[in-house]
Amino acid sequence: MNNSIAILIYSNSEYSFLWDMLVKLINKYVDSNIQIFFLTNENTELELKKTIPTNWIYCTYSESLIWTKRIYNCLKNINYEYILFIHDDWIPIGNVTEEILISMINFMRQQECNFLLSYSHFSTVNNQKGIYSGYNNYFYYKEDNHIFQPAIWNKIIFEDFCNILNKSKHQNEDSDCLDFMRNKNCYSIQNKETVLSLRTTNSLFFPHMHVLSQGLWNFTKYPSLKSFLESYGIDTSTRGIHPWWELDTQ
């Protein structure tokens, strides 16, 4: 088992309709050498808990705590130098390999980088030459601060973020959070050739689709998402569609 980086998935039993699919996709795409921590509310029903594989480390939080403190209490008990953090609705659709993750954290150590974002956005690519990653068309770019997820965090910085800032999930990129991360030496890794067409689905270290925004399906952003979810038995008639403008064509 790799002892430098682990994946932490934040969830709540309210979104347990995603769990079976998430587990299957993690098992399909994520290297088995990478430890998974699954964090959810402590009053989750026993039958739902059985959805989570026994080789994942199951962690809980009290819903009386604010979002950052829920994560902080979990992070205190994780003995890894780096954490790849996601919420349960950021689903992998391509390989998440130990080799690439180790390459990413080697870069982070060399550059004293504390946060590495996994997906593309045009503003930095347009203004910087970038640092070649060794992977075809993928370059590292310096960021002013963070865009929350999916990303690799220096665990110490992530702990500080969650301990010092008292924030709800929907405040994770507010002005306080951005100011906190502004001097933390943040980077992203982006594909220079596809930055205008594919933002998330060809992420180098965590290719993904984001299932929900503000509780609504991201079918506008991902034209293939509806049929993808339905192929895993998820009822897509239960909520509306978010008018997200950042089209990702896969």
Which pLDDT does position 124 carry in this prediction? 65
Q: Is the bond leading into 53 cis (omega within 30 degrees of zero)?
A: no
Q: Are 225 and 236 in contact (CB under 8 A)?
A: no
**Residue 161 burial by Cβ neighbours in a 10 Å radius (0-12, 13-18, 19+):** buried
Q: Return phi, psi of residue 34, to 5°.
A: -100, 120
Asked if residues 167 and 176 have their Cβ atoms less than 8 Å apart, the reply is: yes
CATH assignment, 5-210: 3.90.550.10
Domain-wise residue ranges, the chain:
5-210, 211-250
Looking at the chain, how many residues does it have? Answer: 250
Using one digit for the tens of pLDDT, what is the confidence trace for 157-199?
A: 999 999 999 999 989 889 999 999 999 999 999 998 887 778 8
Whole-Å CA distances, 150 to 8, 45, 54, 224 = 10, 27, 24, 20
Per residue in 40-80, pLDDT tens? 999 999 999 999 999 999 999 999 999 999 999 999 999 99
Q: What is the mean pLDDT of the chain?
A: 93
Contact in structure between 172 and 106 (CB atoms under 8 Å): no
Residue corresponding to tokens 């310096």 = 142
E strands of 27-179, at which residues? 36-41, 57-61, 82-87, 90-92, 115-117, 131-132, 138-143, 151-154
pLDDT band at residue 249 under the 50/70/90 scheme: low
pTM of this prediction exceeds 0.85:
yes
pLDDT one-digit tens code per residue, 191-245: 988 877 788 899 999 999 999 998 999 998 899 999 999 999 999 999 999 986 6
What local confidence, expressed as pLDDT, does residue 99 receive? 97
pLDDT at 248 over 60: no
